[in-house]
Structure 1
Amino acid sequence: FLSAANYSCGGLLSYSSGTLQSPFYPGNYPNNADCVWEIYVRSNFRITLTFRDIQMQGGRCLSDYVEVYDGPLRTSPLLGKICSASLRTYTSSSNLMTVHFHSNSQYTYRGGD
C-alpha cells in the first residue's frame, strides 16, 4: 500500500529538454495522486510534449487521466486529456505549458512517460 506521504510529484520545470514520469513509473502509480508540472522555456520559444507510452485506468479518462494545458492550469485552453496513448504530441502557443496527472482511489496502472 502506498500513501501520498511516500512520494512527491509535480513542480516547476525550466529547461530545454527533459522527461516527465508518473510517480513510481514504470511501476504502478499511487491512488489519489494529483501532480501538476508547470513547464517554462525562454520567451519566444514554444514547448513540445510527446507522450511515448501511457496506460491508465478507463477508456473514457473519467477516473485517472493526464491533462495538458496551453498555459497556466485551468485558466488556459485544454490541449488534451488522455489516459492511454503512444506517441501523442502537444505543442504550446507560448513559453508555458501545464501538465496535470490525476488518479482516483481505485485501480492503479503503469502510468507513463
Structure 2
Amino acid sequence: TTTSALATTTIDGSCGVFTTQTGTLTSPNYPSNYPFNMICIWTIHVTGGSVRIQFIDFDVQFKTGCMFDNVRVYDGDVQIARLCGTMTDINPGPYISTGSVARVRLFSDNNKSHKGYSLTWATI
C-alpha cells in the first residue's frame, strides 16, 4: 500500500488511517515490543481543523541521530520530528499540523526492539 510519497508496509494490519476527531494510538504490539524490520505509518485525517499529537509513553531504541529505530512525525508529507530513546530523551509534543493530515511513522531494524509508543491526538 502507498500513501502519498510515503511507502507503507503494514504488520498484521496494525497500521492504517484514522478519521475520528480524537483518539489514542499505539505502536504494533504495545506495550510489548514492536516487531523487527518494519515500517508502520499511521495517518490521522481530521475535519475542520489541525491535528494535535501528544506522546504519552515512548520507548524506542536510542542512537545519536536516531539512525536505527525511530519514530517520525509528519505534518502532511513534511517531516517535523525524528524521535528515539525514552520520554526523557524526546520532546513529547504537542506536534501540530498546519492542515488536516498528520502521520506517525515507526521504523525498526533487525537489531533491538523496545515497547514503542502511545500517543493521543485531537482536532484543534
Normalised-by-shorter TM-score class: 0.7 to 0.9
Q: Which amino acid aligns with 1:83?
A: C
- Name the % identity: 30
Higher strand proportion (structure 1 or 2):
2
Helix, strand or coil at the partner of 1:23: coil
Partner of 1:46: 50
Q: How far 1:23 sits from its partner (Å)?
A: 0.8
TM-score (norm 2): 0.77
List runs of 5+ in structure 1 lacking aligned partners.
Answer: none
The 3 A distance-change label for structure 1 pair 70 and 6 is closer
TM-score (norm 1): 0.83
Preserved contact between residue 18 and residue 43 of structure 2 (Cα < 8 Å): yes
1:58 to 38, 46, 62: 62
Over the aligned positions, Cα root-mean-square deviation in angstroms equals: 1.9
List runs of 5+ in structure 2 lacking aligned partners.
Answer: 1-8, 119-124
Q: How far 1:88 sits from its partner (Å)?
A: 2.7
Q: How far 1:7 sits from its partner (Å)?
A: 2.7
Partner of 1:79: 80
